[in-house]
Amino acid sequence: MARLIRLWKPHGVLSQFTSADGRPTLKSLLDVADVYPAGRLDLDSEGLLLLTDSGALQARIARPGSGFAKRYQVQVEGQPDPATMEQLCRGVVLKDGPARALAARVIAAPDLPERDPAPRPRPGRGSCWLEIELDEGRNRQVRRMCAAVGYPVLRLVRVSIGPWTLAGLQPGNWRAETLHAPVSARAASRPRRPPDRPPGTRSNGRRPDRSRASRTRRGS
């Protein structure tokens, strides 16, 4: 059993509970003992931050390639073309190694609370919104990837991690839940078998020929 908290981290708040220089921290938003962030968002970024009292769950969510994909809505300066979006998916080279998006696309401006201060592009550049999905979360990775293809980030909001989203939250709000069983990112995203298909059958309703499969495995 584990306790999990979904928090909408606002812009300008550190993803930790203490600060040596007096900057705002998570302590200003929630007073819950023995929970720790599963991954981070940088000071300038906003959106979903997960906290838990389970070290195993914390490590599993934060570990690259764990299956808990992270989805971001990102306002960038300029208007990326399709070739740029393809480049983000093919991969770019950062100082700490290659990085690529699982998915990247241009989207309509999302319905998000206004940020103070509001991000502003340079004169004549304009801006647009992207949705980017990653299977890892290196330090400022989305910002560095977008900069690498020539489109600096003006605003970044993480909207989901695996099955968890910002649903029902506003900046600075949080909700807690109790997990009674281990969470599997793959199980959460795996499509269920249609209810009218008997277990062990193909999509055409026929049961597989197990004797034939057995002969094939033996090299017959």
Three-state SS at 50: strand
Calpha distance 58→122 (Å, rounded): 39
Which DSSP category does 189 fall into?
A: H
Chain length of the chain:
220
Q: Name residues whose C-beta falls within 8 Å of residue 181's C-beta, 6 or more positions apart in sequence.
A: none
Q: Strand 103-107 relative to strand 127-134: parallel, antiparallel, unpaired? A: antiparallel
42 is a catalytic site residue: yes
Which residue, 216, 160, 152, is CA-closest to 48? 160
Task: Point out the catalytic residue in the list 31, 42, 81, 116.
Answer: 42
Compute φ and ψ for 85, nearest 5 degrees: -65, -40
Q: Name residues whose C-beta falls within 8 Å of residue 126's C-beta, 6 or more positions apart in sequence.
A: 77, 78, 79
Q: Which residues are catalytic?
A: 42
